[in-house]
Structure 1
Amino acid sequence: MKITKKRVVLFLLFIFPLICFLILSTGKNNFTKLPVLTKNVIDISAIKPSKTFKDHISVVCFLGDNIEVNKAGFFNLNEKIYKSFIDYKQFQIIAVYPKEKEVQVAVLKKEIGAFTDMAKWNFIAADKEEIKILFSSFKTNENLANLYTSKAFLIDKNGNLRGRTNDKDSTIYGKLFGYNMQSVAELNAKLKDDIKVLYYEYYAAFKNKNENKADRKEVGL
């Protein structure tokens, strides 16, 4: 077939856009979803009824018995994660601590709050057994020493623990259950990125749901 200027123009005007549309359509849901590592962890409402993981994207940390010694990680979490997502809907940080540590927690809150809107920081006091039971429901490969771990955990809107299954730095089957608060690099490169992936996952699901409703309306369903 002889290629003429007219055929080239027709191809660019009609065929090429159709090909692009088909390619984009087949890749509609082809984005990376953040793996679920543990389903249905114990909801924080079991400890404090006014708070919940449901319908929130939660970063959970355990403050432990010696908050003063471990506080650098909480400052990192505030600077690198909390301040990046404070304006995102349904985002929250849940900080669980032993009931007898109210004085240390008050000092920590005052120090973090000096330059931070604390509206989405939630400090929750709990009995030692409650803390252990909550943490054990995450089913991680981490240890809770003196009710503290250096890791922060990401819980989705359905109460599932999210993380990575192919993390190159993990020594246990590539699974990353929690993010090291002592490492600014890990918070930046991993936790921040994973929260964004999770938000996009919900955005894409919402968008697809609305598109499906529109499609059904068009065909009279």
Structure 2
Amino acid sequence: MKFLTKKRVVLFLLFIFPLICFLILSTGKNNFTKLPVLTKNIVEISEIDTTNTTTLKGNVSVVCFIGNDVEASKSGLLNLNEKIYKKFIDFKQFQIIAIYPSEKEIAVAELKKQISAFTDMKNWKFIPVQKELIPVFYESLSVNEPLKNYGSNKAFIIDKDGNLRGRTDDKDAIDGKLFGYNLNAVAELKDKLKDDINVLYYEYYAAFKDKNKNKADRKEVGL
């Protein structure tokens, strides 16, 4: 038993065993945490978009509500731009949608100008919406706090099927449900929103990989 020296056992436990565990887990199906669906089939943004240029379906969207007080929303959107948008700008089908009352066009144009100073705006979508339609869209999210002056300090994740995603076991939420992410809390954007978007993308990646594997398996057996 000279082979099983103390040094070799330590090396095995430190390096080989964790690698084996990782390979076993990575080859299994759905051995990862999926981002919970909190609300299904919310209103499609194209139904309230006066420009008719944006859709939720087929995209991973981060949605926020600027409201009447554009200046008050500015710092939160700048945080979102720096901590989230710039991290995911090159991800496929990723977009940030900022909804605002249509009469605030001039103030929003100035906000866009400030954000675009050091940012490629290709995946930013600023959507003017008639005031009376903003609550209709927001209420379809079924979140646990109301709009204030047509705005919110939260950002929301909408998946490719038009469902609201979030957390059901968040330690900082009273009932564990995290519907939206605080735009004014940089730590929450970095530690929660960023992580949850990554989880959602990995979920799509794993589903794509499983689909291709199943196709290959059927082809191999002649189905």
TM-score (norm 2): 0.88
Whether the 8 Å contact between 2:60 and 2:160 is mirrored in structure 1 is: yes
Aligned to 1:85: 88
SS at 2:72 equivalent: helix
What residue number does 1:142 align with? 145
- Structure 2: how far apart are the matches of 1:21 and 1:187? 28
Q: Are 1:198 and 2:212 an aligned pair?
A: no
CA–CA distance in structure 2, aligned partners of residues 83 and 218 of structure 1: 42
Equivalent residues in 2 for 1:1-221 (5 A)? 23-24=24-25, 27-48=28-49, 49-171=52-174, 173-221=175-223
Separation in 1, partners of 2:54, 2:25 = 40
The percentage of counterpart residues that share the same residue type is 67
In structure 2, the CA distance between the partners of 1:21 and 1:76, relative to structure 1 (3 Å rule), is: closer
- Shift in Å, 1:70: 2.1
What TM-score, normalized by structure 1, do the two folds share? Answer: 0.88
Counterpart Cα distance in 1 of 2:60 and 2:142: 19
Query: Do the aligned partners of residues 23 and 62 (structure 1) sit closer, same or farther apart at CA in structure 2, a change above 3 Å counting?
Result: same
Question: For residues 195 and 25 of structure 1, do their structure 2 counterparts lie closer, same or farther at Cα, with a shift above 3 Å needed?
Answer: closer
Q: Highest Rg: 1 or 2?
A: 1
What's the offset of the Cα at 1:129? Answer: 1.3
Unpaired runs of 5+ residues, structure 2, are 4-16
RMSD: 1.9
**Post-superposition CA distance 1:159-185 (Å, at most 9, x none):** 0000000000001x2000000000000
Distance change in 2, residues 1:113/1:33 (3 Å): same
Instruction: Give SS of 1:149's match.
Output: strand
CA drift of 1:158 comes to 0.1
Q: Mark the runs of 5 or more structure 1 residues left unpaired by the alignment.
A: 6-15
- Tell me: CA distance 1:128–1:83, structure 2 relative to 1, closer, same or farther (3 Å): same
Tell me the distance in 2 between the aligned counterparts of 1:174 and 1:20: 30
- Alpha carbons of 1:132 and 1:209: their partners in 2 closer, same or farther (altered >3 Å)? same
Distance 1:20 1:128, change over 3 A: closer
Q: CA deviation at 1:29?
A: 1.5
Aligned-residue offset at 1:191 = 0.2
Q: Distance in 2 between matches of 1:73 and 1:21?
A: 38
Partners of 1:21 and 1:125 lie apart in 2 by 47
Which residue pairs with 1:11 in the alignment? none
> The residue matched to 1:159 in structure 2 has which SS?
coil
The aligned length equals: 205
Q: Is the 8 A contact 2:25 2:31 kept in 1?
A: no
